[in-house]
A and B are shown apart, each in its own frame.
Chain A
Amino acid sequence: MKKYILNSFLSIVFLVGISSCVKDHPAEPPVLNGDPTNITANTTIKALRTLSPKNYVNETVIITQNLIISAVVVGDDRSGNLYKQLAIQDSTGGIILLLGGTYIYTQYPVGRRLFVKLQGMILVNNYGIYSLASYIDNTNTPQGIPSDLFGRYIVPGAWGITIMPKVVSLSKLPNDSLQAELIEIDNVQVISANLTHPYYSLKYGAGITLESCAIPGKTAEIYSSKYANFANSVVPSGNGSVVALYLSDYYNIPQLTVRDTSEISLFGARPCD
C-alpha cells in the first residue's frame, strides 16, 4: 500500500515535471515580399490632383470617396533630408505623403509599394504643389498620419521595386506635373560660386545652384535640410548628372532635393566654365 502510494505519486509528479517544456519564443515568421491581394488601386495621382484644380494657398479638400492609389516610394527620410514625409510616385505622377512619424523609412523605404486608402485624408494644394495630409491642426498646418494610424491608411506591399528616374532636360523645367517624381538631369555642374559649399550651411543658406552646360543660363536649385546626414558634405565640383526629387519652382527656378549624395555624379571635367 505504502509503496503503491509513494510510487504512483512520485511517478505522476515527475512525469508532469519532465514532460512540460516552456517555449521561449516562436519560430521566425515566413519571409513576405509581395503585394497584398485584397486591395487594388481605383484612381491615380494625376486624377487625384483634379479634385483641387485651382491654385490657391493651402487649399484643402477632404477626400470623401473611397479612393485608393498604388504608388512606390521614391523619397524617404533615411538621410534626414525629408522629414515626416515621403515622396511617392505612380505611373501618372508623384505626390508628397505627410506622415506623423520619424524613421518612416524602416517600414516604407524607397522602392516599397504603398496602397494608400484616401478616404478621410486631406488633399492639400499649395499653388499647385500637392500633398496628402491627415488633418489640419489648430495653427492651420497640414499634419501627417499619426504613427499609430499608419495601418489604417497605408497597406504596404512589395519591397525593392526599382523606379528609374525620368531623364528631363533643364529646359523642360519647371514642370508642376513632375512634382514629387524622381528625375535625372544630365550635363550639369555646380556653379563656381558654390563650389566649396556644403549641401547645407548656416553661412551660405540651404541652396546649391546647378547650371546646365547644354543651355547656358538655365539653372536649378538643390535644397537640403540641415538635418540631412550629408548636410556638411561639400558638393562635388565636376560635370555630370544629378538624380533628385523634383519639388516645385521658386520664381521659375526649379527646386530639387537630393535623396543620397551617391546620386550626385558630378565628377567629369567642367566643360562649360
Chain B
Amino acid sequence: MKNILLLSLLLITAQLFAQTSTIKGVVKDDLTGKPVIAATVSIPGTNFTAATDVSGNYVIANVPYGKYTLEIKDDTHGLYTQQLEITSPETAVNQVAMQMPQEELKKEEEAERQLEENSSTSTLTETDLQDIGNQSAMYAGAQRDLFSSTAAFTFGRASFKSRGYGGDFESVYLNGVPLNDLASGSTPSIGGLYSIMRQRTGIMGLSPSENSFGDVGGSYTFDNRASAQRKGLRVSYSVADRNFRNRILASYSTGILKGGWAITASFIRRWAQQGYVQGTFYDGYSYYFAIDKKFGTNNTLSLSTYGNPTKNGRAVATTMEAYNLAGSNYYNPGWGYQNGQMRNANISNVFRPSFTLNDEWKINDKSKLMLAAGFSFGKRKSSALDWNNAQDPLPDYYRNMPSYTRDTLLKAYAEQQFKNDVNVRQINWDNIYNMNRNSYDSIVNVDGKGQNMRINDSHYIIGNSVTAQKSFNFNTTYNADFTTHVSLSAGLTYQFEQVESYKEVADLLGGQYYLDVNQYAQLTYPGNDSVVQNNLTTPNHLVKVGDKYSYDYSTTTHHGNIWVQPEFHYKKLSFFFAGQLSTTAFWRNGLFLNGLFPTSSLGPSSTQTFLDYAFKGGLNYKFDKRNYIFINAGYFTKAPSINDVLTSPDTRNQIVSGLKSEQIYTAEAGYRYRSAMINATATFYFTQQNNQTQTLRFYDDDLYTNVNYTLTGINTMRIGGEGAIEVKIYKGFSATAVASVGRYIYTSRPSATITEDNSATVVGSNETVYWKGYSLPNMPQLATAFGLSYRSPQFWNVSANINYYDWMWISVNPAQRSNDAIVNVVPNSTTWNSILDQKRLNGQFVMNFSAGYSWLLNNDFKSINRKHRYYLAFNLSATNITNNTDFITNGREQLRFDFRAKNPNTYPPKYTYMYGATYMFTVAFRMN
C-alpha cells in the first residue's frame, strides 16, 4: 500500500511555460520529528501533485511562477496548507511540521484499548495464547489493513486465527530484534505494553516487508524506540471484570531532545484478587524503558529493556459433565478451599526480561542499515498438583466423577454431592494437608548415601514445570532505493536459544519431603530399585521446596538466515521477488540419568541440522487511485521444531526417525478499493503445508505412564477468502462488514510413532492415523462481523457490532482414529460413527459495544499553559453484551482412548467457554 503511494509519485503535466520552478520540501511529524511518508502534496486547482518519500521529501517540477496554496494531506495527520510564492527556478519550501489532530489521537487510543481488550477478555490468558501460538490475538491491530484490523479486534476473542495460521506462520520483530522462540515458534508476551506499541507495521500474508523476509502468514514489526514515541505523559486507570479487575498505566516520553537524546519509560500494573472465573487471580507488572541517542544526522543508537513479571491463577478446561453438574460454564476445578480461603493449584509465573540494542544508520538519502541485537533470559513456571503413590485428587478426574459410578442410586448421590458440597466439587486442600502430615515412609539408601530414614514424605505436592530460557538474537536489515523504480531490502539473522526444562518442588503441602522416584516405573517394574530412579546419580532422592525433580534437560537451537528482496515500482505496476536461505541445528542435552534409560538419557543427543529455503514473489496493479489488485505466491521449506521431534523429551534423547523439513505452497490474490465513501478489500488464499511433525503427550492411567504420539507426515490445506467493507454513511456514521470464510483441513494420514516414558520399547511405529478430511480444530473457519459506529465532532464516539462464528470443530485424538480403535466395530454403526466423527461446535452470535469521550482540558480551563495539550479521556467497552455463555472457544479430545469398551466418552473432551458479558472502563489523563 505504502509502496504504491510512495512510488506512484510525480504526475506532472508537461506544459510549457516561459518560467517554471521545481518545488522541494520535507514533511515531518510535529511531535516525533519523524518523516511523514506518502503524504500527498498538491496545488489545488492544478494537476500538480506529488507524494513524500521515506524521508518525507517531495519534489514537484515545472510549476509556473506565481502565488499558490500548497496542500499537504496524509491519512493520519489530515490536511495542512501553506501559502507559497514562486519566483525562482528552485523553490525550497520550509519544513512542514504536521500535527496529529485530536481525532487521530483518539483512533490510536482506541486501537490501544482494543488491544488491551483482546488480551483481557480472552478466556485464554496471554501465557495461554503464547502456548497455542496465537499471535494474531496478541498483536491484533498491528496492521492498518481494514480486514485484519477489524477482524483481529473483534474476532480474536473467539480463538479466530487469520487464515487458520498459527504463530509459527508469523514473524514478529521488536526494535529490529526477532521475537519468535525457536523451540515453540511462539513469541513472549508483551504484557499489556500497548501504549508504547503504536509504531507498528503489519504485513499480511506474502506481501513484501522492508524489515524482514516475513512468513507465510505475514510479519509484525514494532518500533518501540524512544525516538519513535510520541512526546508526552499518559496516566490511566481502568476497572474491569475480566482476567484482571484493575489496571494502572503510566507512560512518559521525552520526544527528541536537544543533543539527540530521547527517553521513554512505561509502567503498567494489572491485577485482580479474582478474575472472571472463580479461583483465578492476576498480578502482572510490565515495564519498558528505552533511551535513544542520535549521532549526527545519520545514526540513531537505541537501547531498551522490558519485561513483565506476571503471576496468575489460571482456569482449567473441564468436561461437559462437570460444567453441567456445577451449573456453570465457568466452573474451574483447579481451586479449592484451604483454611477457609480459596487456593488455585494452577499458577503460572513468568518473568523474562529482555534487552535490545539497535543502531539505525542512514547511509544516505537512498539507503539505510539497521543493526539490532537482543538478549533475553528468564523462567516460566506453571504449577500443578503432583503426586506419588496416591490417587488423582482433582475433582474432575474421571474416576472421581459421578459418571464413573455404575450404580444408579449412588450416581444420583454423587451428583447431588458434586452440586452441593464445595469440597467435593473443588480441591480439598485441608484433606491433602491432613494426608501429607500423616504420611510416613521408610526410605532406604537416601540420596544414594547408604543411609536409611523414616521420614514424613508428602503424597501430594505442588510442582512447577519450569522452562528456563536464554536467547540471543542478532539481526541486520539493509534498505536501498537504487532508482525511483528499483529498491532492495536484504537481511541477515542469527538466533540462539537454550531452554532448560525441569520440575521444581513449589510446596510440600504439609509434609517434610517428597520422594523423587518414578511411581509408574515402580508399578511396571516392582522391586527393581534402579529403574524407578528419575536420576540415578542421586537415587531415592528426598526433595524439598526449590529442588529439581522428575526430569531435567535442555534443548539448544541455532538458527540463521539470509534474505534478499528486490522490488520494482512503476506507475501502475509494482512487483517483487524475495528469497531466503536458512539453516537450523538443534539437540537435546539430558541432565538427569534416568533409571529406565541409563544409556540414552544423560548428555547430548545427536545434532539435527536442516537447510531450508523460501521464495516468494508478487505483483500489484493499480487501475487508478481507487482500485488495485495484487497477487502473491510463495514456496517455503521449514525445519521442524525440537519440541516436536523428541519422542519422549522428559526421559531420553530419542529423536523420531526420518525427519524432513516441511514444505509449504501458498498463494493469495486480492482486490482493494478506496474512495472517500467506501473502503473495501477482498483476498483469496490457498496454502498447502506438507510433512509436518508434531508430538502429542498424555498420561495414561491404565498403563501408568506418559504416552507420546509423534506424528510425521501431517499435511494440511487452508483455502478461503476474507473481505471487509467500510462505508461512511453520513457525517460521522459509518458501517463495517467483515467476513472470513475458509476451509482448513488435514489432507493426509500421518504416521505415528508411539512411545511410553516408562518403556524403552517403541509401542507402535508407522501406525496410520486416519486424519484425512478432518477439520483443523479450535478456530472458527467462518467468522463475520457487522458494525455501526458514530464519531461526533464533539469528540465522543459510540460503536456496536454483532458477530457470528461457525464452522468450529474440536481437536481429534489420533489414538481414536487408528485401526485399533475400530477393530471389530461394525462399519457405519452408531459406535463406529461415535468413535470417528469429529465433534462440531454450535455457531454463535456475540455483540459488543463501546463508547468514548475525549475532553480537551485547554478548551475549558483557559488558565492552562498553552504549550501543552491536556486531555481527559473516558472509554467504556462492553463485550458480549447479550451475555452469551454457550460459546465454546476451545474443545479438546483427551488423547486417550478406551480401546476395550470402544467408548469415546470414557475420557470425554474438555472445553473452554468464552466469557459472558464483561466491561472495562478507563479514565486516562494525557499531556502532549
- Given contacts A103-B389, A151-B424, A26 and B347 within 8 Å (CB-CB): no
Query: What sequence of 0s and 1s flags, for each residue 392-435 of chain B, a beta carbon within 8 Å of any chain A beta carbon?
Result: 00000001111011110110011001100101100001110111
Q: Are A148 and B391 in contact (CB under 8 A)?
A: no
A24 an interface residue at 8 Å Cβ cutoff?
A: yes
Minimum Cβ distance to chain B for residue A224 (Å): 12
Q: Are B438 and A160 in contact (CB under 8 A)?
A: yes
Minimum Cβ distance to chain B for residue A192 (Å): 25
Q: Are A2 and B864 in contact (CB under 8 A)?
A: yes
Which residues of chain A come closer than 8 Å to B433, judged between CB atoms?
28-29
Minimum Cβ distance to chain B for residue A213 (Å): 30
Query: What sequence of 0s and 1s flags, for each residue 242-255 of chain B, a beta carbon within 8 Å of any chain A beta carbon?
Result: 00001010100000
A1 to B522, CA, bound (A): 74
A2 to B925, CA, bound (A): 11
- Given contacts A2-B870, A29-B429, A106-B439, A148 and B339 within 8 Å (CB-CB): no
B55 an interface residue at 8 Å Cβ cutoff?
A: no
Which of B248, B347, B865, B923 is the one whose CB lies under 8 Å from A24? B347
Which residues of chain A come closer than 8 Å to B429, judged between CB atoms?
29
B23 an interface residue at 8 Å Cβ cutoff?
A: no
Query: What sequence of 0s and 1s flags, for each residue 2-20 of chain A, a beta carbon within 8 Å of any chain B beta carbon?
Result: 1001100110111011001
Which residues of chain A come closer than 8 Å to B328, judged between CB atoms?
none
Query: What sequence of 0s and 1s flags, for each residue 60-88 of chain B, a beta carbon within 8 Å of any chain A beta carbon?
Result: 00000000000000000000000000000
Which residues of chain A come closer than 8 Å to B861, judged between CB atoms?
1-2
Which residues of chain A come closer than 8 Å to B347, judged between CB atoms?
24
Q: Are B391 and A106 in contact (CB under 8 A)?
A: yes
Which residues of chain A come closer than 8 Å to B273, judged between CB atoms?
20, 22-23
Q: Are B272 and A22 in contact (CB under 8 A)?
A: yes
A146 to B407, CA, bound (A): 9
Q: Are B248 and A13 in contact (CB under 8 A)?
A: yes
Q: Are A20 and B389 in contact (CB under 8 A)?
A: no
- Given contacts A20-B271, A28-B510, A138 and B406 within 8 Å (CB-CB): yes
With an 8 Å Cβ cutoff, the count of chain B residues facing the other chain is: 67
A172 to B674, CA, bound (A): 102
Which residues of chain A come closer than 8 Å to B414, judged between CB atoms?
146, 148-149
Which residues of chain A come closer than 8 Å to B237, judged between CB atoms?
12-13, 16
Q: Are B339 and A135 in contact (CB under 8 A)?
A: no
A29 to B429, CA, bound (A): 8
- Given contacts A23-B281, A28-B339, A229 and B527 within 8 Å (CB-CB): yes
Minimum Cβ distance to chain B for residue A85 (Å): 15
Q: Are B311 and A106 in contact (CB under 8 A)?
A: no
Which residues of chain A come closer than 8 Å to B340, judged between CB atoms?
26
Which residues of chain B come closer than 8 Å to A107, judged between CB atoms?
431, 434-435
A84 to B446, CA, bound (A): 30
Minimum Cβ distance to chain A for residue B548 (Å): 21
Q: Are B343 and A25 in contact (CB under 8 A)?
A: yes
B459 an interface residue at 8 Å Cβ cutoff?
A: yes
Q: Are A1 and B527 in contact (CB under 8 A)?
A: no
A109 an interface residue at 8 Å Cβ cutoff?
A: yes
A27 an interface residue at 8 Å Cβ cutoff?
A: yes
Residue of chain B at shortest CB distance from A12: B237
Minimum Cβ distance to chain B for residue A262 (Å): 8
Query: What sequence of 0s and 1s flags, for each residue 890-928 of chain B, a beta carbon within 8 Å of any chain A beta carbon?
Result: 000000000000000000000000000000000101010
Query: What sequence of 0s and 1s flags, for each residue 180-211 of chain A, a beta carbon within 8 Å of any chain B beta carbon?
Result: 00000000000000000000000000000000
- Given contacts A2-B863, A103-B389, A149 and B405 within 8 Å (CB-CB): yes
Which residues of chain B come closer than 8 Å to A134, judged between CB atoms?
407, 410
A256 an interface residue at 8 Å Cβ cutoff?
A: no
Residue of chain B at shortest CB distance from A134: B410
Q: Are A13 and B271 in contact (CB under 8 A)?
A: no
A273 an interface residue at 8 Å Cβ cutoff?
A: no
- Given contacts A22-B311, A229-B526, A148 and B435 within 8 Å (CB-CB): no
A21 to B340, CA, bound (A): 19
Minimum Cβ distance to chain A for residue B633 (Å): 50
A83 an interface residue at 8 Å Cβ cutoff?
A: no
B341 an interface residue at 8 Å Cβ cutoff?
A: yes
A164 an interface residue at 8 Å Cβ cutoff?
A: no
A16 to B389, CA, bound (A): 46
A101 an interface residue at 8 Å Cβ cutoff?
A: yes
Query: What sequence of 0s and 1s flags, for each residue 223-237 of chain B, a beta carbon within 8 Å of any chain A beta carbon?
Result: 000000000000111
Which of B235, B401, B870, B927 is the one whose CB lies under 8 Å from A148? B401
Residue of chain A at shortest CB distance from B345: A25
Q: Are A1 and B863 in contact (CB under 8 A)?
A: yes
A107 to B430, CA, bound (A): 12
Residue of chain B at shortest CB distance from A109: B438
Q: Which of A154-181 contact B (CB under 8 A)?
A: 159-160
Q: Are B865 and A148 in contact (CB under 8 A)?
A: no
Q: Are B410 and A135 in contact (CB under 8 A)?
A: yes
Which residues of chain B come closer than 8 Å to A92, judged between CB atoms?
none
Q: Which of A40-75 contact B (CB under 8 A)?
A: none
A28 to B673, CA, bound (A): 64
Which of A16, A31, A32, A160 is the one whose CB lies under 8 Å from B246? A16
A80 to B704, CA, bound (A): 15
A231 to B246, CA, bound (A): 59
Residue of chain A at shortest CB distance from B701: A102
Minimum Cβ distance to chain B for residue A154 (Å): 12
Query: What sequence of 0s and 1s flags, for each residue 850-863 of chain B, a beta carbon within 8 Å of any chain A beta carbon?
Result: 00000001000101
A143 an interface residue at 8 Å Cβ cutoff?
A: yes
Which of B281, B341, B413, B527 is the one whose CB lies under 8 Å from A232? B527
Minimum Cβ distance to chain A for residue B639 (Å): 40
Q: Which 5 A-B residue pairs are closest in the complex by CB-CB distance? A: A26-B341, A22-B283, A135-B407, A17-B248, A29-B339
12 new A-B contacts, CB < 8 A, other than A17-B246, A28-B339, A107-B434, are A13-B248, A24-B281, A25-B338, A25-B343, A26-B338, A148-B401, A148-B418, A149-B417, A151-B423, A151-B424, A152-B413, A231-B526
A-B contact pairs, 5 of them (CB 8 A): A13-B250, A22-B272, A28-B339, A106-B391, A138-B406
A residues within 8 Å of B by Cβ?
Answer: 1-2, 5-6, 9-10, 12-14, 16-17, 20-33, 80, 100-103, 106-107, 109, 112, 134-135, 137-138, 143, 146-149, 151-152, 159-160, 227, 229, 231-233
B residues within 8 Å of A by Cβ?
Answer: 235-237, 246, 248, 250, 269, 271-273, 281-283, 311, 338-344, 347, 389-391, 399-402, 404-407, 409-410, 413-414, 417-418, 421, 423-424, 429-431, 433-435, 437-439, 459, 507, 510, 522, 526-527, 857, 861, 863-865, 870, 872, 923, 925, 927
